[in-house]
Amino acid sequence: MAWSVFWPLKVSLKLRPREQLILSDALEYLRGRGLGIGAKGIASYAGALRVSVAGAALSDVFAGARTASPSPSAGQFGLFTPGVFEGQEAQTEAWLYGLRADATNRTNVAVLNAGPDGAGAVTLELQAYDGDAGGIPRGDPDQVTLEPGGWAQKSGFLGNKGVANGWVRVRRLSGTAPWITYAVVNDGAGAGARTGDGAYVPMVATPPPSPWEISILKDGDPTMGLHRPSVTYDPSGSPTISYGGLILSSLTSKVKVARWDRASASWQVATLHEGGDTWHVPVLATDPKDGQPSVVYGVDVLQFAHWTGSSWKVEAVETVGKINDVPSLAYGPDGNPAIAYFAKTPTMGLRFARWNGSAWVTQSVELDPFADKYLTSTSLAFDSQGNPAIAYGARAGTGNRSDTLKLARWTGSEWRTEIVEEGVFFYGYQCSLAFDAQGMPVIAHRAGRPDYSAGIRLVRWDGQGWVGEPVVGEGTLGSLVLDRSGTPLVGFTQAYPWSVRMARPEPGRGWTSEVVEGSLGAAQYPMLKLDPAGKPSLVYVRTETGADGIQVKSIGFARRTAE
């Protein structure tokens, strides 16, 4: 494990597991390591310290500081300040409670910009409230502007506002960086009185308003378990959601499609298939020619259904046999639909079907005699030349789980396949493919492990080879999209506690994630999609446990309303 301290140079410290290190004179130690702190004894020095961790989980590390100062009446007084973990900073507003300024106490208030280098300045407003007068605000609010890493303290803040017993609100007026505030209640009404020791008072941060607008689609059939929803949009932004379900009483299945009807402001639900088992999970895409949704699904026969504006027109694509499959549907530059899927008959393995204007033309992409041994998934996208490409999971041997992520690309005359990453169980599982603005493929896929603690990886072609990186250490992948700026967005679920999340890379911070919906009994099968305005949205199966202990499933539909 290594600690890195920025002031503004970096110092690294290595600690063994369970080792504790105490630096008795931290500033002198940092001076000795080359940090540009002024000479000892000629001035007072104060500021913020940022600690980054490598080689261990952040939750396994604790950092704190004990600040000691000489007392005017001899001896010294001090304050212990625990570190604030990344993700626990304030964003919009925070409160400091239980503060006093009387004959035996005085209160200081400190603020700091916890953003990384380049995050920009924040301007904070500090307002005191009088608890003895019913909580009315006292005095004019103070404003502080801080650059990243900047720290400031308002000494005697409560007393200067004429408040003996009260609290303080700190809120952000401008900037986007995270920030921290805390209070220090010192023993003694003034310097030199009593011990001078300080008690650290942590902030209570107000959660920022969620940028996600969540609506819930309840199927209305309590006997049906929901699974694997998919979403697409018409040009006006109205969504259509497809999903499957297992009828628990008969162990048969249904395929349903819910269209949002603007006129009635309600979901219009249709059943496309009922009975048997839906081996090919329903997936959606929008026809660019008429703006209407299409869906692919099937049992022994892969079916393609298109909404005509008044009804669903269903036609068979190919007899494929019963095989666990999550197919992929996309429209090419010519406006015609194409499908990537696995088949069992007549030729087992990865296949590709494309509508040529009058009929479906099918091709074998890669043979795989073991394709029916596990739930397979494909991800179809078109490159900048208009040629199809398919990301998929495969196996190096004859096992029943994927251990290889592969990419197949159509050259104009043949399919060529290559290995992207291999050697780990569940590599290639739940993969998702996109092409960036330079025409380079980007793939997200499962990082391994068969349970909900599996992680997610992102792999890019940099022009010479594949470069991979971890996105999150724990989570189940839904899908990958590139937003209009080319930034990759990854939708996923996380267990214990269950939540639906979206991850994105942030300059100077690596991959960060935000909660879309949390505090669920379970969350499964997330799918991320951009709406016509370019904002991300997610559909997923959500489970809530009622007061009676009964679990109820529904489809969650979340759209990001904020930038």
The DSSP secondary structure of 276-320, one letter per residue, reads: S---EEEEEEE-TTT--EEEEEESSEEEEEEE-SSSEEEEEEEE-
Beta bridge partners of 468: 459
pLDDT at 452: 61
Q: What is the model's pLDDT at position 96?
A: 97
At residue 546, the pLDDT reads: 72
**pLDDT beyond 80 at 71:** no
pLDDT, residue 121, reads 93
DSSP 29: H
CA angle 259–477–549, rounded 5-degree value? 70
Q: Predicted confidence band at 73 (pLDDT cuts at 50, 70, 90)?
A: low
Using alpha carbons, list the distances in angstroms from residue 558 to 217, 491, 527.
11, 11, 10
- Does residue 322 carry a pLDDT above 90? no
Position 552 confidence tier, pLDDT thresholds 50, 70, 90: confident
Which pLDDT belongs to residue 224?
66
CA dihedral 218, 222, 225, 231 (to 10 degrees): -20
- What is residue 403's predicted lDDT score, i.e. its pLDDT? 84
* Stronger pLDDT, 254 or 192, i.e. the higher one: 254
Nearest-angstrom CA–CA distance, 63 and 403: 39
CA nearest 115: which of 172, 37, 66?
A: 172
User: What is the arithmetic mean of pLDDT over 52-75?
Assistant: 76
pLDDT at 48 over 70: yes
**Does 373 have pLDDT greater than 60?**
no
- In this model, does residue 105 exceed pLDDT 80? yes
pLDDT band at 49 (very low <50, low <70, confident <90, very high): confident
Lowest-pLDDT range, 10-14, 287-291, 540-544? 10-14
Give me the pLDDT at residue 1, please. 33
Cβ atoms within 10 Å of 546's Cβ, excluding its own: 9
Among 207-221, 253-267, 520-534, the range scoring the smallest mean pLDDT is: 207-221
Show Cβ contacts of residue 291 under 8 Å, excluding neighbours closer than 6 positions: 234, 235
Biggest distance spanned by C-alpha atoms of the chain: 95
pLDDT above 90 coverage of the chain, percent = 54
Answer yes or no: is pLDDT of 8 > 70. Answer: no
Mean pLDDT of 469-489: 92
Q: Is the pTM of this model over 0.75?
A: no
Lowest model confidence (mean pLDDT) among 219-223, 288-292, 426-430: 219-223
Burial of 522 (0-12, 13-18, 19+ CB in 10 A): middle
Confidence of residue 6 (pLDDT cuts 50, 70, 90): very low
3-state per-residue secondary structure call for 484-503: CCCCEEEEEEECCCEEEEEE
Run of H or E residues at 80: strand 76-82
Sequence-distant contacts of 402-410: CB under 8 A, at least 24 apart:
402/374, 402/376, 402/426, 402/427, 402/428, 402/429, 403/427, 403/428, 404/428, 405/431, 405/443, 405/445, 405/459, 406/366, 407/433, 407/441, 407/443, 408/350, 408/365, 408/366, 409/383, 410/352
3 state DSSP class of 389: strand
Residue 50: the pLDDT is: 80
Contacts (Cβ under 8 Å, ≥6 apart) of 510:
none
Residues 112-126, mean pLDDT to the nearest whole number: 90
Query: Residue 110 pLDDT more than 70?
Result: yes
Of residues 227 and 229, the one with the higher pLDDT is 229
How far lies 168's CA from each of 119, 138, 139, 448, in Å? Answer: 26, 10, 11, 47
The tokens for 227 are 């699974």
Q: CB of 280 within 8 A of CB of 243?
A: no
pLDDT of residue 453: 64
- pLDDT band at residue 393 using 50, 70 and 90 as cut-offs: confident
Question: Three-state DSSP class for 2?
Answer: strand
Query: How confident is the model at residue 139, as a pLDDT?
Result: 94
Would you say how long the chain is, in residues?
563
> What's the mean pLDDT in 212-240?
87
- Residue 495's pLDDT is 86
4/24 Cα distance (integer angstroms)? 18
